[in-house]
Structure 1
Amino acid sequence: MKKFVLSVAASLLLASSAFASTADESAVNDAMQRLSAAMTAADAQQMKDLTADTLSYGHSNGLVQNQTEFVTTIASGQTKYRRIDLTQTVTTVTGDSAVMRDHFTGTVVEPDGKVNDVALNVLLVWQKQHGAWKLLARQAFH
């Protein structure tokens, strides 16, 4: 009987852990979709709310921005995203951290008015802070 109870308890722990992980993965994916929408809308407050104060946002050209630079560049219209599509997304949650990989395609309007179609691979690190998932780091690459 003792073995049976331990077996059931272990099964319940594994099931609850898998459910929590799936729920967290969904929450991280949702946060990424909201961040993409905020970037397209140039919504400074939403971008700030979805990113960590210590954000490190790396572009494929080597430029690295902090949270203020990232938000200001988009909110000011210096860089305008017309479209952002994320595919091939894989999200792995470990505790209060999550690693996300995806393929980013989009249309960007540069300050000189030039329209560019972009296709990049991206690595993102998310951290759960006070119950909310925040983007901590991002690096794009070709």
Structure 2
Amino acid sequence: MSAQTTEAGIAAVLEGERARLRAFCSGDVATLDRLLSDELTYTHSNGMIEGKAPFLDRLAAGRVRFANGEVSEASVRLLGDTAIYNGRFGLTVISGEREVHLDSRQLSVWQRHADGQWQQIATASSRIPPEPS
């Protein structure tokens, strides 16, 4: 793989992650449908595991909302048509009357398809506990 191809792949995955976070916060189900693989496994920071369809259904129905998403760290390793993303982000999750701010680490796997498009196939986030006072 050439350096140019590697740089383009890394840039595409980083932009995919930024677009995914923007779509989370705006409730843009159509963008998420394009970015997330039908085979997605999403492991939430609370340990819940969910597939693409149930997650998008909850988002579309307003049962979960996201706000104030911000990435503070991000790196990508490219392994052929697979990319490993590691990042840190802050995000407010609103579920019913409950609002929780999360400071989390994320590990995601992205896959490049024959048409050159990248999709997230797996993601897991882990909460970072607050610093003791």
TM-score, normalised by the number of residues in structure 1? 0.84
Whose strand fraction is larger, Structure 1's or Structure 2's?
A: 2
Larger Rg: 1
Unaligned runs of 5+ in 1: 1-15
1-structure distance, mates of 2:69, 2:58: 16
What number of residue pairs does the alignment pair up?
126
Give the counterpart of 2:65 among 49, 69, 80: 80
| Structure 1 outlier segments of 4+, above 3 Å | none
Determine helix, strand or coil for the equivalent of 1:49. Answer: helix
CA-atom RMSD in angstroms: 1.2
- How far did 1:122 drift? 0.7
Q: Which amino acid aligns with 2:9?
A: D
| Mapping of residues 1-142 of structure 1, within 5 Å | 17-111=2-96, 113-129=97-113, 130-142=115-127
Give the secondary-structure state (helix, strand or coil) at the position aligned to 1:60.
Answer: coil
Percent of aligned positions with the same letter in both sequences? Answer: 25
Residue 4 (structure 1) aligns with: none
Query: Normalization by structure 2: what TM-score?
Result: 0.89
Give the secondary structure class of the aligned counterpart of 1:131. coil
Mapped to 1, the partners of 2:16 and 2:58 lie a distance apart of: 20
Per-residue deviation, 1:87 = 1.7
Partners of 1:20 and 1:87 lie apart in 2 by 25
